[in-house]
């Protein structure tokens, strides 16, 4: 019997979509975070000062009215070699009004990271990978100037790494943290503390929530994703 490729594709997709599930949840903060510091240097800078109207502050703790915690990277642990980064859409890290936007980024190994300069002035893009493979893969690009209207700088990282730092030494308050994951099962919480990890194959997993200040080593939970069912898992990040 001859089976058409379209049927095979349809059957496969149907099976996958039925089998896979989503993981959703909310991250909340327990305790009172230290007050954010106004970045006075931006206003004082003769060039950056013209780009901002209000007084920017540090953004270490993005906390909602009910203590929802933003900028938390939530990901499955113990999975490797499942990256689809090579075919995934590039992620953009912008330099806008003398700040990195967003400040917390997550992407897959092999996925392109485009560092953009939207400011009418120069920045230097300086990254400090801790993983040797990431350092080697980006040798010669670890500290580059990026002039006004210059093309995006393109980076890819072959190894997983948490909170790889990007910074600008011209403007010392500018920095961002990039987490590299070796699979597509991760998310970054929004200001409402919510996250959603889609299309997770059924199985038992360890899921972890990482916050650069409050949980740099991650908070782990054990979960089971059942066929076709959505799984909810909430995290509470406790300040010491």
Partner 1 sequence: MFTAACTFVLLGAGGLVTSHGAGLAVPDWPNSYGYNMFLFPPSQWIGGILYEHTHRLIASFVGLLTAVLALWLWGRETRGASKWAGIGAMVFVLMLMGVRHMGVYQALAVLALPVIVAGLVQFFRRPDQLRWLGVVAYAAVILQGVLGGLRVVWLKDEIGIFHGTLAQLFFVLICLMALRTSRWFAGLNREGGGGFRLHPLLLATTVLILAQLVLGATMRHQHAGLAIPDFPLAYGEWWPATDPDSIARYNQNRMEVRALNPITAFQVHLQMVHRLMAVIILAAVFASGWMVLRRLRWRSLAGKLGVFWMVLISVQVALGAFTVLSNKAADVATAHVLAGALSLVTGAMLCIVYGRSPKSAPGAVLSGLSERERTASALATGPAT
Contacting residues toward partner 1, per CB under 8 A:
34-37, 39, 41, 45-48, 58, 60, 121-122, 124, 126, 128, 142-145, 165, 167, 169-175, 213-214, 216, 239-240
CB of 45 to partner 1, least distance (A): 6
User: In the complex with partner 1, which residue's Cβ is closer, 120 or 191?
Assistant: 120
Q: How far is the CB of 124 from partner 1 (least distance, A)?
A: 5
Beta-strand relationship, 153-155 and 113-117: antiparallel
How far CA 75 is from CA of 38, 143, 206, in Å, comes to: 31, 29, 9
Classify residue 140 by burial, with Cβ atoms within 10 Å: 0-12, 13-18, 19+.
Answer: exposed
Separation between Cα atoms, residue 159 and residue 208, nearest integer Å: 18
- In the bound state with partner 1, the residue whose beta carbon lies nearer, of 122 and 137, is 122
Name the DSSP letter for residue 173: T
Q: Which is nearer to partner 1, 51 or 223 (CB)?
A: 51
CA distance 71 to 64: 11
Q: How many CB atoms within 10 Å of residue 55?
A: 10
Q: How far is the CB of 214 from partner 1 (least distance, A)?
A: 6
Nearer to partner 1, 42 or 200 (CB): 42
Q: How far is the CB of 217 from partner 1 (least distance, A)?
A: 8
CB of 240: closest distance to partner 1 in angstroms?
Answer: 4
**Strand 235-238 relative to strand 231-232, pairing:** unpaired
User: Nearer to partner 1 by C-beta: 23 or 99?
Assistant: 99
């Amino acid at each position: 019997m001859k089976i058409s490729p379209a049927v095979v594709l349809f059957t496969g997709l149907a099976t996958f979509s039925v089998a896979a599930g989503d993981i959703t949840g909310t991250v909340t903060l327990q305790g009172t975070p230290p007050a954010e510091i106004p970045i006075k240097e931006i206003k004082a800078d003769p060039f950056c000062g013209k780009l901002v109207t209000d007084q920017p502050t540090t953004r270490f703790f993005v906390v909602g009215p009910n203590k929802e915690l933003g900028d938390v990277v939530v990901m499955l642990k113990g999975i490797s070699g499942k990256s689809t980064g090579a075919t995934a859409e590039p992620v953009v890290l912008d330099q806008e009004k003398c700040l990195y936007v967003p400040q917390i980024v997550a992407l897959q190994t092999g996925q392109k990271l485009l560092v953009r300069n939207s400011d009418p002035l120069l920045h230097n893009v300086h990254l400090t990978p801790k993983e040797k493979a990431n350092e080697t893969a980006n040798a010669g690009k670890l500290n580059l100037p990026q002039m006004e209207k210059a093309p995006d700088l393109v980076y890819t990282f072959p190894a997983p790494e948490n909170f790889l730092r990007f910074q600008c030494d011209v403007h010392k308050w500018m920095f961002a943290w990039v987490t590299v994951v070796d699979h597509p099962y991760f998310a970054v919480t929004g200001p409402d503390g919510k996250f959603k990890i889609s299309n997770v194959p059924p199985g038992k997993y360890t899921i972890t929530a990482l916050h650069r200040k409050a949980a740099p080593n991650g908070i782990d939970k054990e979960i089971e994703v059942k066929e076709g069912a959505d799984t909810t898992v909430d995290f509470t990040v406790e300040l010491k």
